[in-house]
Amino acid sequence: MKHALIIDTEAEKKEILNRYKSLLRACKSTLQKGDKKEIRKAFELAVECHKDMRRKSGEPYIYHPIAVAQIAAEEIGLGTTSIVCALLHDVVEDTDITLEDIEREFGKKTAKIIDGLTKIAGVFDTNSSLQAENFRKMLLTLADDVRVIIIKLADRLHNMRTMDFMPGHKQLKIASETIYLYAPLAHRLGLYAIKSELEDLSMKYLEPETYKLIANNLNEKKAERTLFVKDFISPINEILKEQGLSASVFGRPKSIHSIWNKMKSKNIPFEEVYDLFAIRVVLDSHSDQEKADCWKAYSIVTDLYRPNPDRLRDWISSPKGNGYESLHTTVMGPRGQWVEVQIRTQRMNEIAEKGFAAHWKYKESNNDNGLDLWIQNVREMLSNPESNALDFLDDFKMNLFSDEIFIFTPKGALLQLPLGATALDFAFEIHTDVGAKCIGAKVNQKLVPLATKLQNGDQVEIITSSKQAPKEDWLNIVVTSKAKSKIKSSLKEEKRKIAEIGKEILERKLKSLKITYNTENLEKIAYYFKLQATQDLFVAVANAKIELKDLKEFLNDENALDTNNPKIQEEFVAQKSKSGEKDVLLIGEDMQLIDYNLAKCCNPIPGDDVFGFTTINDGIKIHRTNCPNATQLMANYGYRMVKAKWNSDQQLTFLTNLHIIGIDAVGLINNITQVISNDFKVNMRSITVETEDGIFDGMISIYIKDTNHLENLIKNLLEVNGVTSVTRYDG
């Protein structure tokens, strides 16, 4: 018998009021005359609308809009309009209140922002067939009001902070969307504090073991780090004071996610990550003294501690595209370890923490138009009708993460491009026609190939020819979304024209062979010549890759083909070959035995956390939840995910890969293979070994039963004399 939940409504009312008062305190610095009244009105409407609603945790739903408004006010620094919109962000979607009601009570601007928030509320709806397409629509709202996106980020941050009560598969899906889309978006808007927290919270659900391990390690060494920071900053403070510079100097711990990235990229354990924190020097400077004060502080720090000349980053002279300004240097600390030092002013620090929201506060800032320029670029990317939504999403994500370089035109105008951009990207950045007709480039007066990567401060001149047209291999040269989409668009149009010619030629040839020209026969011919679509067939005919003699061969062989659609026939053959396998996975909500394939990108084995993914042509594919492709699949196709768990009764073997590093010695390979083959009775599929300067580097593919079996094998391999590291890698 279920017990009814007893709710203390009086205590809840009191708590709601306390949270509201806390929100008002957070807004205090931005409140104008009459603002308090507006916020009160929005709060009362939200309380009334959500009075019968509760969150998964059992708490009153109103806690959520108040928390989102609190984040917007306190952590981002938004004003009254945004606070009102944050309080009301769910009312139009979840209750009977209409946009007309909002406009009548709070005005046009508020109604427009809430309309934007309502439209994008379903961007990652589980039942939506193409999240990427919806995300594209969401970004279009940027042009109306950037606050729509910022409030959406605050909403996502609170949901991530309170996700413990969600079922596991929902947690994985939401965390994947967050790391794939929301964290990069926060980064691009300069909201670094929020970006870091979103990454850490995503990791908590996507990589729980690693997250706990790093968090525990950080906690254990906390006292030691605090003492180190104290010793490090003490002389800096002293000299800053002597020189008449007012500043606060403190240590900032690095995020768990960034530490994990460092461990992965350098393939090192936690103990070998030296920069677990950064020292920040925040100066209280007048606007006309900012640059000089920062360099003065830099001089003080580098006089005390030896700097690494390769690690100086000057984002004060050339701020990042999202407005970030700071001086970064890495110096040798008193205990012989490298320490990162960030030097900036209070204004720069606020912009770094709160992004473009802080720009509205500093109207004299030269970077005021940065966001407008960014929105303009996003709109340009979105307006291309040819662009496939998923291609767009990958391009967009890549451009979000990249740092910027500044390139000069021959007349001295400055253009901003992502790091890694080529001369061809620059041509398309000037104008689509310049890019399409580009045959060469001069970088700093010297003729270079189109694929040349540009460096910060290069001066570039583009050489064009009216006879030039975009080529297929250009797609491998460019990195910007604008250039890619324009080249794809042009190639598509060119392919369409060639296909038209090929279509007419094929029609005539089929007539001469007395083959009926219809869709079914075209599909059979395309399948016979291993072409993906009939358009590819037309292009092959136009380019004389398929001629009359080839079509005659097809005709002679045609009877061997099943009269059914060849695609269906191919799938049937694939199904048959799979049915001989033993099922070892329980799949779906009701945990049935269903046919599946193991994904080659991550080679899951029993004991790994896995999920099923329904593919279009290849049945259900099983991926590890920490597979390199998993976050993208979950974020874009959450609706195609199915639960999966191992059935421990089965005893089959699975292919996995090990990377072994060690000090080369006589008999090392023999000792390794002995552990694998004799001690563990494991079959090896392949082994490749390289030795250089006395270092042994081997890749071994083996068949094992499950994760326990693998862990024991790794443990024993590490005991082999000379072996220093054994790691599993995705083949």
Most confident of 341-350, 530-539, 601-610: 341-350
Averaged pLDDT for residues 364-382: 51
Asked if residue 171 has pLDDT above 60, the reply is: yes
Query: Per residue in 579-600, pLDDT tens?
Result: 333 334 666 445 555 667 888 8
How far is Cα 312 from Cα 309, in angstroms, rounded to an integer?
6
Averaged pLDDT for residues 620-636: 83
Phi, psi angle pair for 661, to nearest 5°: -120, 140
593, HSE (Cβ side, Cα atoms, 13 Å): 7
Query: Per residue in 35-89, pLDDT tens?
Result: 899 999 999 999 998 888 888 888 899 999 999 999 988 888 788 888 999 999 8
The answer to whether 725 and 655 have CB atoms below 8 angstroms apart is no
Q: Which residue has the higher pLDDT, 583 or 623?
A: 623
pLDDT of residue 366: 40
Which segment of 2-6, 176-180, 572-576 scores lowest on mean pLDDT? 572-576
Phi, psi angle pair for 383, to nearest 5°: -75, -10
Asked if residue 390 has pLDDT above 60, the reply is: no
Asked if residue 218 has pLDDT above 60, the reply is: yes
pLDDT of residue 622: 87
Query: Per residue in 139-164, pLDDT tens?
Result: 555 545 667 888 889 999 999 999 98
Q: Which two tokens stand for residue 74?
A: 């306190």
Query: Per residue in 415-467, pLDDT tens?
Result: 888 888 999 999 999 998 999 999 889 988 888 889 999 987 788 999 988 88
Averaged pLDDT for residues 643-661: 75
User: Average model confidence (pLDDT) for the chain?
Assistant: 80
Most confident of 297-306, 362-371, 404-413: 297-306
pLDDT of residue 368: 41
Catalytic residues: 93-94
CA-nearest of 483, 566, 557 to 523 is 566
State the burial class of residue 676 (Cβ atoms within 10 Å of its Cβ: 0-12, 13-18, 19+).
buried
Asked if residue 640 has pLDDT above 90, the reply is: no
Give CA separation, 220 vs 213, 224, 254, in Å.
Answer: 11, 9, 15
Asked if residue 19 has pLDDT above 60, the reply is: yes
109, HSE (Cβ side, Cα atoms, 13 Å): 8
How far is Cα 66 from Cα 61, in angstroms, rounded to an integer?
9
Which segment of 87-96, 122-131, 335-344, 689-698 scores lowest on mean pLDDT? 122-131
pLDDT of residue 650: 54
Q: 448: Cβ–Cβ under 8 A, 6 or more apart, which residues?
A: 423, 440, 441, 442
How far is Cα 85 from Cα 69, in angstroms, rounded to an integer?
8
- Which residues sit opposite 54 in a β-bridge? 60
pLDDT of residue 205: 93
Q: Which two tokens stand for residue 541?
A: 């005919």
Q: Return the percentage of the chain with pLDDT > 90, whole number.
A: 23
DSSP structure string for 355-375: THHHHTT-TT-GGGGHHHHHH
Write out the H or E segment, with its range, that includes residue 194. Answer: helix 192-206
State the burial class of residue 54 (Cβ atoms within 10 Å of its Cβ: 0-12, 13-18, 19+).
middle
pLDDT of residue 402: 53
Map out the domains of the chain with their CATH numbers. 9-214 (1.10.3210.10), 219-362 (3.30.460.10), 489-561 (no CATH), 573-646 (no CATH), 654-729 (3.30.70.260)
Evaluate the CA torsion angle 533, 531, 493, 509 in order and state its sign. Answer: negative
Phi, psi angle pair for 270, to nearest 5°: -55, -40
pLDDT of residue 185: 78
Asked if residue 2 has pLDDT above 50, the reply is: no
pLDDT of residue 129: 38
pLDDT of residue 18: 92
In single-letter form, the type of residue at position 462 comes to I
pLDDT level of residue 381 (50, 70, 90 thresholds): low
Which segment of 183-197, 216-230, 348-362, 533-547 scores lowest on mean pLDDT? 348-362
pLDDT of residue 130: 44
Most confident of 299-308, 443-452, 607-616: 299-308
Query: Per residue in 244-253, pLDDT tens?
Result: 999 999 988 8
Phi, psi angle pair for 74, to nearest 5°: -85, -45
Which segment of 166-180, 313-327, 372-386, 701-715 scores lowest on mean pLDDT? 372-386
How far is Cα 283 from Cα 539, in angstroms, rounded to an integer?
64
Q: Which residue has the tokens 């790794």?
A: 714
Q: Return the percentage of the chain with pLDDT > 70, whole number.
A: 82
Q: Which two tokens stand for residue 459?
A: 């001066």
Asked if residue 563 has pLDDT above 50, the reply is: no
How far is Cα 512 from Cα 141, in angstroms, rounded to an integer?
56
Q: Which residue has the tokens 């030039």?
A: 468
pLDDT level of residue 570 (50, 70, 90 thresholds): very low
pLDDT level of residue 239 (50, 70, 90 thresholds): very high
